[in-house]
Each structure stands twice: as structure tokens, then as C-alpha cells.
């Protein structure tokens, strides 16, 4: 062993150097720890400040809401539909249902979607009985009626025409209750286009076509006659549950809304269902109602129209003959026989042309809608 190295370790100078190095390391570690603790304390302080700011903002927001509520109670309700507060709830239904709570504010930007040829079902629930209520859509009014006697729930049905232009429309619901309080509710409805089928080559004998034309019948389905008997629709709902198919359907030969081109009337929508069944097969009422009309027209042939109340009608065309002993004004039950399959009027073969129409409040028109929707939904 080297003697000089032993002497260096034993004289104490080596130990002194080690102590200096340890002291220096300790100081560095102490500074690092102090910096870490300082940074951690600053971070905690910052988080506490941010949390206090969020809590303060929430408190201010709550105070603002409470202040607005107090002001609404003190001040009369504004007529602005976008800020109207109304004591009723609204349900707009198109294959799905949405219920808004009572006293809800319904802004105009609230949007509901419905397709061409379908039915828009409106419901309102009022805290007091209503003397009058109606909805205005695309310049046409439709009345509300009570769901049941002594019931503060009201409903109306808005038909969307096959040719209604797609786009956004405003629905304005106006109510007047027994206390004389009038309210307006506004919402938006988006009408979507529907991909109606195309049909060509509808043929009918020249002799029959000449006979129809000689009696002055133009396009459409005897619309003037429809207006006459639909003026006095029953003010209450007469039907019960979903509508049933009126015959044992073997085939749907023409669907609702189909765009048809015929050499008799040109290009137009088909406003009903053409249902095939054997000649002289029985036809049954789709639901409860009152016989509104029983007649013969050049276009529709032998026709029975049933009023189901609230402006809703079903029309059965091209019958071979009527059921005996039924007359205008009779109450008809769902499933009761009303006639037999035929080919009268503007028809190329034996079938039932079935329509479901909904009239407006002013008796200006009765718009046809998809009957199949009423067999699937319970209104």
C-alpha cells in the first residue's frame, strides 16, 4: 500500500473535503425543496381563486334568474312570442312526442319536423277551461277541441298537403280562457319533402272517359261536393283508437301521394290509397263516426263519407253498391259494413279508393293526408 495515501487519510484533510462536499449538496437540495414548496403553494392559491370566481359567477347567475322571475310576476306578460310565458304546455307530434312543462317559455326557434302528406298533432294543457283555441299554419286556421268532457287538455290536427313547399313555417296557437286571459304560443315547424312514387300509363276506356268529360268533371276528386258535406263536422272526437283497414287488402295498387300521369287528368298527386280486393267484397268503416254523405259522383262513383269528428273524414269511393239501410246522419261503428267493392266512376278496375281528409276551421278546404299513419298512431 502507498504510504502517502495512508498519511493523507489519517491526517484529517480528506474527511474535511468530504464534509464540504456534503454541505454543498445539502444546500442545493434545500434550495430545490424550497422552490418546489413555493410553486406548490402558488398553484393551490391559484386554484382556490379560480374556484371562488366560479362560485361567485354562479351566485350572480342565480340572482339574475330570481330577479327576472320576480319582474315577470310584477310586470304584465309581453306580447313578443319569443319571450312569451304561457300557463300551458304544448305537444307537437310527428311519430314522436315531446312534452314541455307548465309555464314553459316556448321560443320561436323551437323546431318540429314533419313530412309532406303527414299529420301534425297539437296538444295544449291549460290551467283554466278555454273558450276558444286555434292554431294558424301557412295562413290556415285549425280549431282545438277538448280531449274529453271537463278536461283541460285540448288538441287539433294540422294536415300537411302533399304539395306543401318544403321549408320552415311558424305555427301560432291562440287561446282565450274563461277568465278572459288571451295567450299566444309560437313555435317553428320544418316541412320536409317526401319521396312520392311516380306512376305512368293509367288507362281507362275512351267511352268511359268521354262520359265523364261530358258531365263537366275536371281534375281533382269532386272537391266542391267534399266542401258541402264537410262544413258541419262533429265538434268532438268520435273515433276510438287506431283506424283499421276497411277491406281485406290483397294488394295496394296505388300508394298515397303517388304522382300519377293519366290521359284523363294529366299529372297530379293521388290523394288516397287504391286497395285491391275481389269484386263485390264487403267494405267496413275504418272507425266510429257519422255518415256525412252517401251519393254518386262522375269521378268517385258510389261514395260514402264518414265524419269522425274534429274535421276528420274518411271517404270510400268506386263502390259497386251501398249497404242496405244506411243513410246520412246514421252513427256507424268501427268495422260495420257500409258497402261493396266496385268499379264505378273514374276507375280502371274493381278496387276501393280510400281517403282521409282533415278540414280547416273556415271550411275552405279539406286536405288529404296519409291514411296509413292513422292506422299506426293512436290519436
Q: What is the mean pLDDT of residues 271-283?
A: 94
Cα dist. 251→8, 29, 96, 173, 285 in Å? Answer: 116, 91, 29, 41, 19
In the prediction, which pLDDT does 317 show? Answer: 94
Secondary structure of residue 94 in the 3-state scheme: coil
Judged against a pLDDT cut of 70, whether residue 63 lies above it is answered with no
Judged against a pLDDT cut of 90, whether residue 157 lies above it is answered with yes
Judged against a pLDDT cut of 90, whether residue 160 lies above it is answered with yes
In the prediction, which pLDDT does 210 show? Answer: 58
Burial class (CB in 10 A: 0-12, 13-18, 19+), 300: buried
Cα dist. 146→153, 155, 237, 267, 322 in Å? Answer: 6, 6, 9, 40, 34
Write out pLDDT tens, residues 306-350.
999 999 999 999 999 999 999 999 999 999 999 999 999 888 889
- For domain 198-376, the CATH class is mainly beta
How far apart (Å, rounded) are the C-alpha atoms in residues 263 and 202? Answer: 7
The residue ranking higher by pLDDT, 132 or 332, is 332
Q: What is the mean pLDDT of residues 141-156?
A: 88
Contact 295, 373 (CB under 8 A): no
In the prediction, which pLDDT does 341 show? Answer: 97
DSSP H helices, the chain, are 3-10, 13-74, 206-214, 223-230, 371-376
Judged against a pLDDT cut of 50, whether residue 134 lies above it is answered with yes
Q: Which residue has the cell 299506426?
A: 376
Burial class (CB in 10 A: 0-12, 13-18, 19+), 278: exposed
Contact 305, 275 (CB under 8 A): no
> What average pLDDT is seen over the chain?
77
How far apart (Å, rounded) are the C-alpha atoms in residues 339 and 319? Answer: 7
Judged against a pLDDT cut of 50, whether residue 110 lies above it is answered with yes
Average the pLDDT over each of 42-51, 67-76, 192-201, 325-334 and give the range with the smallest value: 67-76
Grid cell for residue 34: 424550497
Write out pLDDT tens, residues 184-217.
888 889 999 999 888 755 555 555 555 545 544 4
Secondary structure of residue 352 in the 3-state scheme: strand
Where residue 227 falls among pLDDT bands split at 50, 70, 90? low
How far apart (Å, rounded) are the C-alpha atoms in residues 126 and 102? Answer: 9
Cα dist. 243→109, 277, 285 in Å? Answer: 34, 19, 9
In the prediction, which pLDDT does 47 show? Answer: 74
In the prediction, which pLDDT does 263 show? Answer: 57
In the prediction, which pLDDT does 6 show? Answer: 44
In the prediction, which pLDDT does 46 show? Answer: 72
Judged against a pLDDT cut of 50, whether residue 103 lies above it is answered with no
Where residue 126 falls among pLDDT bands split at 50, 70, 90? confident
In the prediction, which pLDDT does 285 show? Answer: 98
Q: What is the mean pLDDT of residues 145-152?
A: 85
Cα dist. 331→60, 234, 284, 290, 317 in Å? Answer: 63, 12, 13, 4, 19
Distance linking the first and last C-alpha atoms of the chain = 110
Contact 346, 297 (CB under 8 A): no
Where residue 363 falls among pLDDT bands split at 50, 70, 90? confident
Q: What is the mean pLDDT of residues 228-247?
A: 88
Grid cell for residue 118: 303527414
The CATH code belonging to domain 81-192 is 2.60.40.1930
Q: Is 143 left (phi over 0), alpha (psi -120 to 50) or beta?
A: beta
In the prediction, which pLDDT does 78 show? Answer: 36
In the prediction, which pLDDT does 301 show? Answer: 92
Domain ranges of the chain: 3-74, 81-192, 198-376
In the prediction, which pLDDT does 83 show? Answer: 34
Q: What is the mean pLDDT of residues 232-250?
A: 93
In the prediction, which pLDDT does 71 show? Answer: 56
Closest CA to 272 of 339, 168, 371, 342: 371
In the prediction, which pLDDT does 27 show? Answer: 80
Amino acid at each position: 500500500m502507498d504510504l502517502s495515501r495512508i498519511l493523507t487519510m489519517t491526517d484529517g484533510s480528506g474527511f474535511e473535503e468530504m464534509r464540504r462536499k456534503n454541505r454543498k449538496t445539502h444546500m442545493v437540495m434545500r434550495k430545490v425543496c424550497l422552490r418546489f414548496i413555493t410553486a406548490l403553494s402558488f398553484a393551490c392559491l391559484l386554484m382556490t381563486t379560480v374556484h371562488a370566481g366560479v362560485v361567485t359567477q354562479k351566485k350572480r347567475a342565480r340572482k339574475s334568474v330570481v330577479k327576472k322571475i320576480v319582474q315577470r310576476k310584477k310586470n304584465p306578460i309581453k306580447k313578443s312570442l319569443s319571450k312569451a310565458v304561457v300557463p300551458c304546455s304544448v305537444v307537437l307530434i310527428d311519430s314522436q312526442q315531446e312534452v314541455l312543462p307548465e309555464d314553459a317559455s316556448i321560443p320561436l326557434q323551437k323546431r318540429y319536423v314533419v313530412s309532406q302528406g303527414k299529420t301534425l298533432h297539437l296538444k295544449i294543457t291549460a290551467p283554466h277551461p278555454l273558450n276558444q283555441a286555434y292554431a294558424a299554419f301557412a295562413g290556415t286556421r285549425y280549431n282545438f277541441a277538448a280531449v274529453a268532457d271537463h278536461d283541460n287538455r285540448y288538441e287539433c290536427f294540422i294536415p300537411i298537403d302533399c304539395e306543401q313547399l318544403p321549408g320552415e313555417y311558424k305555427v301560432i296557437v291562440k287561446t282565450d280562457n274563461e277568465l278572459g286571459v288571451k295567450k299566444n304560443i309560437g313555435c317553428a315547424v320544418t316541412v320536409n319533402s317526401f319521396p312520392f312514387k311516380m306512376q305512368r300509363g293509367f288507362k281507362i276506356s275512351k267511352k268511359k272517359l268521354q262520359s265523364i268529360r261530358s258531365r263537366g268533371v275536371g281534375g281533382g276528386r269532386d272537391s266542391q261536393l267534399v266542401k258541402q258535406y264537410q262544413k258541419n263536422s262533429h265538434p268532438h272526437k268520435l273515433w276510438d283508437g287506431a283506424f283499421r283497414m276497411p277491406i281485406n287488402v290483397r294488394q295496394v295498387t296505388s300508394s298515397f301521394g303517388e304522382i300519377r300521369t293519366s290521359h284523363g287528368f294529366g299529372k297530379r298527386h293521388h290523394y288516397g290509397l287504391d286497395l285491391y280486393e275481389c269484386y263485390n267484397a264487403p267494405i267496413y268503416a275504418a272507425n266510429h263516426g257519422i255518415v256525412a254523405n252517401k251519393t254518386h259522383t262522375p269521378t268517385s262513383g258510389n261514395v260514402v263519407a264518414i265524419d269522425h269528428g274534429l274535421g276528420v273524414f274518411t271517404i270510400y269511393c268506386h263502390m259497386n253498391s251501398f249497404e242496405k239501410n244506411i243513410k246520412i246522419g246514421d252513427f256507424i261503428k268501427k268495422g260495420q259494413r257500409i258497402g261493396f267493392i266496385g268499379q264505378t266512376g273514374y276507375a280502371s278496375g274493381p278496387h276501393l279508393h280510400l281517403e282521409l281528409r282533415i278540414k280547416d276551421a273556415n271550411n275552405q278546404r279539406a286536405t288529404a293526408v296519409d291514411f296509413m299513419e292513422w292506422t299506426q298512431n293512436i290519436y
